[in-house]
Structure 1
Amino acid sequence: MRVLVVHNAYQQRGGEDAVVLNEVTMLRAKGHDVHLHLLSNEKISGWMGRFRAACAAVFSIASYRRISVIIDGFKPDVVHVHNFFPLMSPAVFYACARKRVPSIFTLHNYRIVCPTALLMHDGVVTERSLREGPWWAVSQGVYRGSWLGTAALATMISVHRRIGTWSRRVTRFIALTGFAASKFAAAGIPGERISVKSNFVDVPLQSDRDRSGFLFAGRLSPEKGVEVLVDAVKLLDGALVKIAGGGPLEGRLSGAPGLIPLGVLGADAMYREMASSQALILPSVWYEGFPMVLVEAYACGLPVIASRLGAMAELVDDGVTGLLFDPGSADDLARKMRWAMEHPEAMARMGRAARARYEAEYTQEINYSQLVAIYRDAMDAVGRTE
């Protein structure tokens, strides 16, 4: 199969960029011919660069022409789009439709329905964009504090909803969780075209180790619930939480009792910490897209204590692969952490169940089968064969 993968990479490489490269590597290893068309936001510099990007975000003629030329030369069976904002725009899908090539769009975040991309504002989950549309966000400058950037996003969302881009030009969508699929369907994305496919991680089986303490792994920012975790640890005697990550709230951890800063860790070091911890703490106060750290924890046999919110409530089987607590509640998080400390055998059972869940749902082989099935379904939808 010939697959054209399209992605607008971020200035600071994140989980979404890693997912794209992982899928491309996987497809090539399976013998597929993959062409990766990658643009980077690093090209955006200065006021004029930001202005041009804002203008192109709604519909980029240059992107339409560029993708058309690539399709003519590469002749893909399918085009898989991960992120088109801001340099490519939804023009990518019009080029695919014009060339009669099926397009698949992975919905890594909520950008096509909400300018915040997170369904969150001022530290609080909000579905205002689903109810009212995106224009409320412009005066708030929710995109990087810029009214211009936010206005460009709001225009993109409104225009493409009105002209039917998502219902008429995209062959299939991939949502990362059933929760996300329901939100997109509520926003008007055709539910019958949405397939649920998680991301995968390829983690070597970790050797058995003595497990103790808790682990937080992620960006130290407000939406990740760092404040909730800090307050919860204050309520516990003898709790130790290793903190792997960096971000704007690093200073909040300085000198805090019970917290052990590790800094940003590489993959191998992270897996070692996961293999020696009793539970991963995931206290996010936003819905999350698909928290890769959760699946990495499962792969390491590490149960997860997470907010009962969004994707986390779907991915953590309460009492089986981990524990859920009331979102934003330091008191409830402290209760669940205390219970974990008092019941090491139960936590060990949850860790084994977490590893079994990883092997059943989140391996590369399972993900590959799901992805190829979606590609073939998209090809069938437009009457195309390999």
Structure 2
Amino acid sequence: MASQRGRRVNAAPRVLMVGTALDGRGGVAAVLQVLRAAGLFERERIAYVATHAEGRRRAKLGSALHGLWQAARICLQARPAIVHVHAASHASFLRKSLVLLIGRVSGAQTIFHLHGGGFRRFAQEEAGPVLRRWIRHTLEASSRVIALSGAWAGFVHEFAPRARVEIVPNAVPLPVSRREGRAEAGRILFLGRITPGKGVGELLKAAALLAPQHPQLRLVLAGEGSPHDLDWVRRRARELGIAERVELPGWLDGAAREVQLARAWLFCLPSHAEGLPMAMLEAMAAGCPVLASRVGAVPEALRDGADGLLVAPRDVPALARALGQLLDDAGLRMRLAQAGRARIKMTYSTDIVCGRLAAIYQQLAGEE
């Protein structure tokens, strides 16, 4: 009987973590998959609950209601010491703010983990006065707010001055194998949702400008997109005369993503807004030279000229010039690829990030 009681005690979660479905697609799901694969869930006795899943509206609503019920049950019955939510904007924020409220009522320490490049606009422009106050209250009432970079931490301090902010970047595993000899000349890879906000339109225009001087140029736009956005990409590629140079392989799982990163001469993510994009970190870890736009936490992870190249968002001429540099200069590609991989090993490895999260949990557990 004593051993059974011991197993029940050991099985009780120390941390309730809430986010999107672990088998989902997108940056937050990728972050969570890395943390789980690194063993953080087992070491810290984390019970995971998803309040979001891909699918039709009814399926999403069902997932949200079921996840909220599960989170409330764990908070009120198992009484975890810490409730840690991964949140972005709009419905994601509303769901997670409710979970944090339940966590506070149950006596738990709470962590609001901020993701999503659109959160600043959501909080400052899109939210009405009542919702804006609730966002500020949620941030300031949390035991800790985790921001992905110094820039995002600065925004949180500005928007919610009493928030207690910690900076923890996204983690990315470092592949054992390198890419030498496998890249294909002129192959430009984009990984992300196929939308105008990811800079896909600017990337198509830049590729069209470069195509006459680069007969081997191919643009691989890998990721999910709505039928409307995919039709727009195909139509725009035809209008620009580069339809035969554009590939749309759709969403890629981990193995397929590794293959595409190995084949790419360079990786490009010219987004209009970002948090800390996992696709960019994965490209750096894979030893693929990276070009990205100067938004969100990107400039802190990718230092212009040192670990990769940065351009202003929406600046097609600058994007074309930087792409041309990388296409034409093998030495530059090699130097940036090596530096980017070293940057990941030093700052964004799973050991470093998981250790930082474990330290925050330990600190909060001492504040109970």
Q: What TM bracket, shorter-length normalisation?
A: 0.7 to 0.9
Distance in 2, matches of 1:28 and 1:44, equals 32
Question: What's the TM-score, normalizing by structure 2?
Answer: 0.79
Distance in 2, matches of 1:220 and 1:268, equals 20
Note if contact 1:8-1:86 (Cα within 8 Å) is conserved in structure 2: no
Partner in structure 2 of residue 141 of structure 1? none
Distance in 1, matches of 2:258 and 2:24, equals 22
1:48-105: CA deviations, max 9, x gaps?
A: x79xx9xx9xxxxx95x86454234323232211238377452322332233321111
**Deviation, structure 1 residue 284:** 0.8
Deviates more, 1:269-278 or 1:213-222: 269-278
Give, as a single letter, the amino acid of the residue that structure 1 aligns with 2:339.
A
Distance in 2, matches of 1:327 and 1:75, equals 45
SS at match of 1:174: strand
Distance in 1, matches of 2:104 and 2:83, equals 10
Partner in structure 1 of residue 288 of structure 2? 302
- Picking from 358, 364, 368, the partner of 1:378 is 364
- Picking from 165, 172, 177, the partner of 1:194 is 165
**Deviation, structure 1 residue 368:** 0.9
Note if contact 1:68-1:95 (Cα within 8 Å) is conserved in structure 2: yes
Q: Where does the alignment leave 5 or more consecutive residues of structure 2 unmatched?
A: 1-12
**Deviation, structure 1 residue 45:** 2.7
Give, as a single letter, the amino acid of the residue that structure 2 aligns with 1:273.
Q
Partner in structure 2 of residue 6 of structure 1? 18
Shift in CA distance, 11/299, structure 1 to aligned 2, threshold 3 Å: closer
Question: What's the TM-score, normalizing by structure 1?
Answer: 0.76
The answer to whether the aligner puts 1:80 opposite 2:67 as a matched pair is no
Distance in 2, matches of 1:357 and 1:75, equals 39
Give, as a single letter, the amino acid of the residue that structure 1 aligns with 2:16.
L
Partner in structure 1 of residue 5 of structure 2? none
SS at match of 2:341: helix
Note if contact 1:302-1:351 (Cα within 8 Å) is conserved in structure 2: yes
SS at match of 2:146: strand
Shift in CA distance, 5/229, structure 1 to aligned 2, threshold 3 Å: same
- Picking from 131, 136, 157, the partner of 2:132 is 157
Note if contact 2:22-2:33 (Cα within 8 Å) is conserved in structure 1: no
Moved over 6 A (4+): none
Partner in structure 1 of residue 219 of structure 2? 241
User: What does 1:360-371 correspond to in 2, within 5 Å?
Assistant: 360-371=346-357
Distance in 2, matches of 1:33 and 1:11, equals 20
Q: CA RMSD in A?
A: 3.1
Give, as a single letter, the amino acid of the residue that structure 1 aligns with 2:230.
E
Give, as a single letter, the amino acid of the residue that structure 2 aligns with 1:106.
H
The answer to whether the aligner puts 1:223 opposite 2:197 as a matched pair is yes
**Deviation, structure 1 residue 2:** 1.7
Partner in structure 2 of residue 96 of structure 1? 103
Note if contact 2:113-2:146 (Cα within 8 Å) is conserved in structure 1: yes
Give, as a single letter, the amino acid of the residue that structure 1 aligns with 2:201.
E
Distance in 2, matches of 1:26 and 1:303, equals 25
Distance in 1, matches of 2:37 and 2:150, equals 26
Partner in structure 2 of residue 183 of structure 1? 155
Shift in CA distance, 89/315, structure 1 to aligned 2, threshold 3 Å: closer
- Picking from 324, 327, 339, the partner of 1:353 is 339
Distance in 1, matches of 2:257 and 2:146, equals 28
Structure with greater helix share of residues? 2
Q: State the percentage of identical aligned residues.
A: 29
